Chains A and B, each alone.
Chain A
């Protein structure tokens, strides 16, 4: 689902360069006029009322209704620094569906099974559909981070914390912080991976400044296949971007950009995973996986009857033993279903990590494997060393 205002996506308003910056409640509306969240609300009603009065049939015409709806959607904003930020409807709907689903799953055992099964099928279908249509959507990003925030709030407000040690909670908070930081870093570095500044196909060699030439030279040296390009004149070209690209660079149809050593387009982060952010992505997945497992373990042992497994540095690690009568109390059932949901997320992340580890081990990226491209490969040790050093 794409927003109505595609122009707004490319609007790069910077409050630092504006002489008269917007306050937190002001924004530019769809007519590019300066507006405030609180002012003009009455004018909107006055305008509608006057339009209704002037109409002989005493009905609001279709154009006015559409104008009102568009104005309302334009005003659906939260105060933000440098101007009110718009809340798109797909973000709101995703959050509402997520929270309603998880609250509904805690009603009883049958609801739990039905809701989680339907959720799984729906997510798989939407993922498949978005992969086919190459649409860039925020649905998965909002769903994933909304799920993490929901589980964190659930843990800190509902799980019986008087049964959990301070150290156990500190470990969970630390893992969640690290996971969030790494994934956020991966998303921010995704924009750097685009090759917007490369030489155009139509450009002449004589007109290129020396700085660009030096960058091209160093790019070729960084590549592990640089030695095979004995011919100086041979260059890879992206026909969609109409630019010269370094080796092992692939075009992403969703991002509409070429990405150096693209592994895959990740729908959950809504960005491409490539050379610039692959390691952060992998670290983020590991930390998030550990955080989800720790969350599920602490929650389940708090609401079910635990049995101790072993003791590590004075902290007893337990497993849930008896989870009968879990739906007798709604808040206990919320913790239980939240733990099941965390384990489901952990299972998905485990599958993704297993794929990543396999492809790093054999030295190719996921996209290369899917296309059947031939890539020069070496032994396992060298592949992991190249990955860790970012070569």
Chain B
């Protein structure tokens, strides 16, 4: 009699425990991740500028401690509505005139048929970046052919153009992502930095630690070292993970800033069709790290325009 009761209870407890293990398995949920606190952000940044900026002798160097310390949230009107006091130079370049900036950054935006997002992006980013008092230039790389969108290849093209112009820092930026807090300086840190680790469509959580997409800040020398990004990922998905694995292959770690600095918002748009081959490309990507990338980049530059708010590069892939 006791045996029956005991075994009956044991069955229920075992079933309950199996369910609990499944329900509470940590790998199924958002990850905690290491990040750099606000007071350590400035020390992590690499102070390097282009030659023409370095040759200016204005004396005073720009102070960034106040910007980082206050970390204002400026994703709101009027910063999202119109350019305030437009002093952006032709080609989307800006540097402050009253002090000497410590950072030069090329912001590379792959683009095709997203006019509304691009317009919002340029208005807000110029208002945002000028308040950071850095030297920057926005490059919009437009794919000018009906092939599937190849985001990574456009980054490679933009990086080549920016490196030709001697920019030491590259920010690989999606056109539909906007930073919400001013303290996140658009400059490179000692390790490649995943900037949008607190994205609103992901409930401000990081889905998995190896996520390295959206907005990435990487030094030009590091980008050259890993042979850029793969040119084979047409369509949506996979090229970010491939970039992360290239860095791992070279034993280069990544870093992230604190969630209060890394909050980004995504503009609305329809979702893209995922690329079915991306899993296979990711699996055999290790074989092509040294051959597929900047070294094998083949494209045709259709046009190079200097618009008021950005440098427009039209390419055929």
Contacts and interface: CB of A to CB of B under 8 A. Distances in A.
Nearest to B29: A166
Contacts of B24: 166, 169-170, 173
A162 B204 contact: no
Interface of B: 1, 4, 8, 11, 20, 22-24, 26, 28-30, 200-205, 207-208, 268, 270-271
Contacts of A173: 20, 23-24
A162 B200 contact: no
9 contacts: A81-B11, A162-B202, A165-B29, A166-B24, A166-B29, A168-B29, A306-B204, A316-B204, A329-B271
Contact of B23 (A163, A169, A307, A324): A169
B29 A328 contact: no
Interface string A287-326: 0000000000000011001111000000010100010110
A181 B23 CA distance: 17
A306 B203 contact: yes
Contacts of B1: 16
Q: Residue among B8, B23, B28, B203 with the most chain A CB within 10 A?
A: B203
Nearest to A307: B200
B23 A156 contact: yes
Given A162-B207, A163-B205, A306 B29 contact: no
Contacts, number: 61
A76 to B, nearest CB: 24
A162 B30 contact: yes
A163 B29 CA distance: 7
Contacts of B23: 156, 169, 173
Contacts of B203: 163-164, 301-302, 306, 318
Interface string A129-164: 000000000000000000000000000100001111
B268 A165 contact: no
A204 to B, nearest CB: 37
Contacts of B28: 161-162, 169
Contacts of B8: 81
Interface residues of A, number: 27
Contacts of A325: 268, 270
A325 B29 CA distance: 24
A122 B22 CA distance: 36
Contacts of A316: 204
A162 B20 contact: no
B195 to A, nearest CB: 19
Interface in A220-239: none
A162 B268 contact: no
Given A328-B270, A328-B271, A308 B29 contact: no
Given A16-B1, A169-B29, A163 B207 contact: yes
A16 B203 CA distance: 54
Nearest to A308: B204
Contacts of B207: 162-163
Given A161-B29, A169-B29, 19 more contacts: A16-B1, A81-B11, A162-B29, A162-B205, A163-B202, A163-B203, A164-B30, A165-B30, A165-B205, A166-B24, A166-B30, A168-B29, A169-B28, A301-B203, A305-B200, A306-B204, A308-B204, A318-B204, A325-B268
A273 to B, nearest CB: 25
A306 B200 contact: yes
Given A156-B23, A306-B203, A163 B271 contact: no
Given A16-B1, A306-B200, A308-B204, A163 B270 contact: no
Contacts of A318: 203-204
A305 B269 CA distance: 12
A306 B199 CA distance: 10
A162 B271 contact: no
Contacts of B201: 305
Nearest to A156: B23
Contacts of A329: 271
Nearest to A172: B23
Interface in A321-337: 322, 324-325, 328-329
A156 to B, nearest CB: 6
Nearest to B201: A305
Contacts of B200: 305-307
6 shortest interchain CB distances as A-B pairs: A162-B207, A166-B29, A163-B203, A163-B202, A161-B28, A173-B23
Interface in A3-60: 15-16
Contact of B30 (A15, A163, A170, A307): A163
B4 to A, nearest CB: 5
A324 B268 contact: yes
A329 B271 CA distance: 10
Nearest to B20: A173
A318 B198 CA distance: 14
Contact of A164 (B22, B29, B270): B29
B267 to A, nearest CB: 10
Nearest to A176: B23
Contacts of B268: 322, 324-325
A83 B271 CA distance: 52
B202 to A, nearest CB: 5
B31 to A, nearest CB: 8
A3 B237 CA distance: 55
A168 B29 CA distance: 9
Contact of B4 (A16, A156, A165): A16
Nearest to B199: A163
A168 B202 CA distance: 14
A166 B208 contact: no
Contacts of A307: 200
A327 to B, nearest CB: 13
A137 B46 CA distance: 73
Nearest to B202: A163
